[in-house]
Amino acid sequence: MIKRLLWLTCLLAPSLAMGQTNGWIKVEAGTALYLDPYQATWGPVSDGQQVLLHSYLLTQAEARAFLFKETKAVELPPSAYFYLEDVIPKTRVEVVAALTRIEVSQLPVNTNEPGEGVPRAIGLTYGHPVKETQTMEAVPYEKQRYQAIQWFYERGRLDAALLAIKRTMTKFPQLYAEEAYVEQLFHLYSQLALYGFLMDESKRLLKAGVSEQFDVMVHHWHGVAKDRLIQQ
C-alpha cells in the first residue's frame, strides 16, 4: 500500500504543483458560504462569484446553486458542506488520482482545513483505526457533510459521494470506528469497482475490534474485494 502511494505521488507530482483551479457559482436562491482558503474566513457567495475549487462551500437548507467550470455546470446540494473540487464529474482514472491525493496528504504532515481549529494528532496512520475515539474532537459540520454524501449518492454521483466521504474520514479518522461510515465507504468502492482500495481499507480494519457486528461487516467486504481481484 505504501509503495503504491509513493509511486502515485511521483506520478501525480506535476498535477499537485499546478496550483489552484477556478470556477464560479450561480446562486438562484438562498445562501451559500465560501471558505476563503487564504483568509480562512467564511463569507456569503454572490451570484457569479469566482471561487477556488480547492476549498469548501457550506450551503443553507433553502439554497439552490450551481458550480460552473469551463463547460461543466453542476447543481450543488442544499444544507451541505463539501469540497468544491469533488463536485466536478470525474472519470474512474480521475477518481483514483483524487483518492490518492487524499491519502498522500496524511503521510508526512497533518494538514487541517482552514478555520477548523487547532492541529490534530493523526489518528489514522496508513489506515490503522484510532483506539480511543472518545478523546477525538467532534467533526465540524458533520450533519452537513453527511447530507452532501447522501445527496450525491442519491443522484448517481458516486464519484462525488466517494470523494466526499473519503475526505471526511481521512480528516476525522475516528469515523473509521463508525459502522455506517465504513460500510458506505466500502459500498462506494465496490460500486465503482475500486477493489484495490477496498482490499487495502478492509484489510486494515479486520482486527479493529469495534464490535462483533462491525467485524462481520468488514470481513464481508474484505471477501468481496478478494473475490473480485481474483476474477480480474
Question: pLDDT tens digits for 85-125?
Answer: 999 999 999 999 999 999 887 765 444 555 444 333 333 33
Would the pLDDT of 34 be above 80? Answer: yes
Q: Which residue, among 133, 134, 204, 211, has the nearest Cα to 174 in the 3D structure? A: 133
Going from the C-alpha of 217 to that of each of 153, 166, 169, 175, 186, the distances in angstroms are: 20, 18, 18, 15, 10
Would the pLDDT of 219 be above 70? Answer: yes
Neighbouring CB atoms inside 10 A of 219's CB total: 13
The length of the chain in residues reads 232
Would the pLDDT of 20 be above 70? Answer: no
**Strand, coil or helix: what is 95?**
helix
Would the pLDDT of 142 be above 50? Answer: yes
Domain count, the chain: 1
Position 184 in a domain: no
Would the pLDDT of 149 be above 60? Answer: yes
Name the residue with higher pLDDT: 1 or 203: 203
Position 7 in a domain: yes
Would the pLDDT of 56 be above 60? Answer: yes
133 pLDDT tier (thresholds 50, 70, 90): very low
Which segments of the chain does DSSP mark as H helices, in order?
Answer: 2-16, 84-87, 92-104, 142-154, 158-171, 179-191, 195-204, 212-231
Going from the C-alpha of 150 to that of each of 2, 35, 99, 110, the distances in angstroms are: 30, 22, 18, 27
Q: What's the pLDDT score for residue 215?
A: 95
Position 50 in a domain: yes
> What is the pTM assigned to this prediction?
0.81
* Structural domain containing residue 144: 2-177
Q: Which residue has the cell 480494519?
A: 205
The C-alpha cell at 165 is 466521504
Position 161 in a domain: yes
Q: What's the pLDDT score for residue 209?
A: 87
Residues 6+ apart with CB under 8 A from 185: 162, 165, 166, 169, 201
Q: What's the pLDDT score for residue 122?
A: 32
Q: What's the pLDDT score for residue 118?
A: 36
Q: What's the pLDDT score for residue 136?
A: 59
CA 28 to CA 174: how far, in whole Å?
36
Lowest mean pLDDT among 27-31, 65-69, 92-96, 206-210: 206-210
Position 226 in a domain: no
Position 192 in a domain: no
Residues 6+ apart with CB under 8 A from 95: 159, 162, 163, 192, 194
Position 185 in a domain: no
Name the residue with higher pLDDT: 15 or 145: 145
Would the pLDDT of 11 be above 50? Answer: no
Position 230 in a domain: no
**Strand, coil or helix: what is 83?**
strand
